[in-house]
Amino acid sequence: MDLDFWWLLVIPVAFALGWMASRYDLKALLSESANLPRSYFKGLNFLLNEQPDKAIDAFIEVAKLDPETVELHFALGNLFRRRGETDRAIRVHQNLLSRSDLPVNERDHALYELGQDFLKAGMLDRAEETFSMLKSGDYAQGAQRALLTIYEIEKDWNRSIETARLLETMGAAPLGLEIAQFHCELSQEALQRKNPDEARRQLVLALKANEQSVRATILGGDVDAASGDWQAALAQWKRVEAQNPAYLPLVAEKIMKGYEALGRAQEGAQLLTEWVDRYSSNDLLDVAYKYVAELSGPGAAHTLARTQMQKSPNLAGMTRLLEAQQANAEEPRRSELELMSKLIQQRTKNLPRYTCQNCGFRARLFYWQCPGCSGWETYAPRRVEPIPASG
C-alpha cells in the first residue's frame, strides 16, 4: 500500500515538471523567433507559395542583416542545384560572395559551391576558373577533384595527369589506375598520328603508374602491329592472359590477325580454342567458332559449340550450336534450326553486352571509361545475359 501511495505522488510531480519544461522551451522558441528578421519569414512564405525568385531576394536581405543565416543560403543553393535550377543556385552563391564580411572558410565554401553550380550547368570555363581559386583550405582537395573531372570531360589528358598527381600529394587515395588510363589515352592519340615512339613512351609511363594495366599491354601490341612487328605484337597480346583473362575477348581478333599475317592461322585458332575451354567465355567462343569453322570445318566447330553449351548453357552459346547443327543438317531439319536461330538472334540482338560494376550503366559496346559514372575500368568485358544451368 505504501508503494502505491508514493506512485500517486510521483505521477503529478512528473507531470508538473514536464509542463514547466515545455513552457520554458516555448518561451525560448518565441524569444528566438522574435529576434529573426521579418525578411526570413517573408522568404519562407515566398518559398511555400512557390515564388523562389522572391524567396531568394528575401533571404539575401536576411543575410545582410544577420550573418548567422549563411547556412540557410548554402542549403537553398544546393536545393536549387539538385533541382536543376542552376541559374538560381548561381545567384544565391554569388550574392554570398558579394558580402565583404564573409569569413575566409565560408568564402571558400561559397566558391566551391559556385564552382559546382557552373559545372552542373555545363559552364566548364567558369567552373575551372572558380575551382582554380581554391588552392588551399578545407575545400582545396574537393576543388582539385572537380578540376580533374573537367579535364577528363575536355580530354585534356596532360592536365588530368598533373591534377591527379597533385591530389595524391594532398592526401587523396592513390590514383595510379586513372593516371595509367590518361597515359593510354595519350598513347592512342599518338598512334593515330602515326607517332609510334611517342605512343611507346606514354605506355612506359602508363605501366609505371599501374603495372597491371591491361589496356597499356593491349596498346603495346597495337603499336608493334602498326610497325609490322607481328611477333612482338602477339607476345604483348598474350600477356593479357596473365594479367586478367577476362580481357582476352578484346585481343582475340587481334591475335588471329597476327597469326594470319605470319601464315600460322591454324596455330592461332588452336590457341583460341584452348582459351575458350579454359575460361568458358562466350565472346571468345564467337571469335574461335568462326575461325575453327573456316580452318577445320563444321564438325570441329560443332564440337566446340556443344562442349561450351554443356559447360555453361546460355543464349549466345545456343546460337552458335544451332548454327553448327544447321551446317550439317538436311531439309526440313535445316529450316527448323534456321528458324530457331533467328528467334534467338532477335531476342539477343538488342541486349546490352556490358554492365558497369560501379553504377550499373549498360552498354552494347565496351568502354574503358563508363559513360554513366565516368569510372575507369568498371566494365568487365563479358556478356551479361547467361542462362543458368538447371538443377
Total-model pTM: 0.77
- Dihedral sign for Cα 200, 189, 284, 354, please: positive
Distance CA(236)–CA(230), nearest Å, equals 10
Helix 249-261 × helix 214-226 angle, to 10°: 20
Q: Are 301 and 292 in contact (CB under 8 A)?
A: yes
- Read off the C-alpha cell for 231: 611477333
According to the annotation, is 373 in a ligand binding site?
yes
| pLDDT one-digit tens code per residue, 227-268 | 999 999 999 999 999 999 999 999 999 999 999 999 999 999
Mean pLDDT of 362-389: 77
Confidence label for 284 from pLDDT (cuts 50, 70 and 90): confident
Distance CA(44)–CA(189), nearest Å, equals 54
DSSP 241-288: HHH-GGGTHHHHHHHHHHHHHTT-HHHHHHHHHHHHHHH--HHHHHHH
According to the annotation, is 184 in a ligand binding site?
no
Residue at 161: amino acid letter: I
pLDDT value of position 5:
46
The yes-or-no verdict on residue 26 having pLDDT over 50 is no
According to the annotation, is 370 in a ligand binding site?
yes
Distance CA(69)–CA(221), nearest Å, equals 60
pLDDT value of position 156:
97
In the chain, what percentage of residues exceed pLDDT 90? 47
pLDDT value of position 31:
46
| pLDDT one-digit tens code per residue, 107-140 | 999 999 999 999 999 999 999 999 999 999 999 9
- Read off the C-alpha cell for 172: 587523396
Which of 75-89, 148-162, 289-303 comes out lowest in average pLDDT? 289-303
All residues at 6 or more sequence positions from 75 whose CB lies less than 8 Å from its CB, including other chains: none
In the chain, what percentage of residues exceed pLDDT 70? 70
Closest CA to 250 of 239, 259, 260: 239
- CA 25 vs. chain centroid, Å, equals 49
Distance CA(107)–CA(178), nearest Å, equals 31
- Read off the C-alpha cell for 343: 528467334
Helix 298-311 × helix 265-279 angle, to 10°: 20
| pLDDT one-digit tens code per residue, 167-213 | 999 999 999 999 999 999 999 999 999 999 999 999 999 999 999 99
Residue whose C-alpha cell is 543438317 = 329
pLDDT value of position 75:
79
The β-bridge partners of 355 are 362
Distance CA(102)–CA(96), nearest Å, equals 8
Three-state DSSP class for 193? coil
- Categorise residue 220: left if φ over 0, alpha if ψ from -120 to 50, beta otherwise: alpha
pLDDT value of position 363:
82
Distance CA(197)–CA(187), nearest Å, equals 9
Mean pLDDT of 3-18: 47
The yes-or-no verdict on residue 9 having pLDDT over 50 is no
